[in-house]
Amino acid sequence: LMIADLQKINPNASIVLCQTTYIELYRDNGEYVGNTYTLDNGPGTAMDYNGTMASVANAMGLYLFKHENTGIDIYNFNETVLDGIHLNEKGRAIYAENISKFLKEQVIPNLHK
């Protein structure tokens, strides 16, 4: 509904949906809770959410900044994430670099077509 409203207000807007980065959660006592692929608090995992986002982007002709392109993954997670979800300074820099590249390569070239 929000996307349709945005498109109605500005039919020429380029809308980018951004999938979640890799996440990994632990309890205060250090016990592992789950990650992007396993943690489900009811509505599904983060990957389920990312899949829904991809379907919406495809159905509505929107741009999709994919999970695997964010630059945050299992290999750099501990040095890029503060609390299991939110990016620290290094994580924000990596994410910004990757989304900037995506915008320059995928979105900006198509702005006036």
What pLDDT, on the 0 to 100 scale, is given for residue 1? 77
What pLDDT, on the 0 to 100 scale, is given for residue 41? 85
What pLDDT, on the 0 to 100 scale, is given for residue 113? 65
Name the stretches of the chain with pLDDT < 70.
Answer: 113
What pLDDT, on the 0 to 100 scale, is given for residue 94? 98
Residue 61 burial (C-beta neighbours within 10 Å; 0-12, 13-18, 19+): exposed
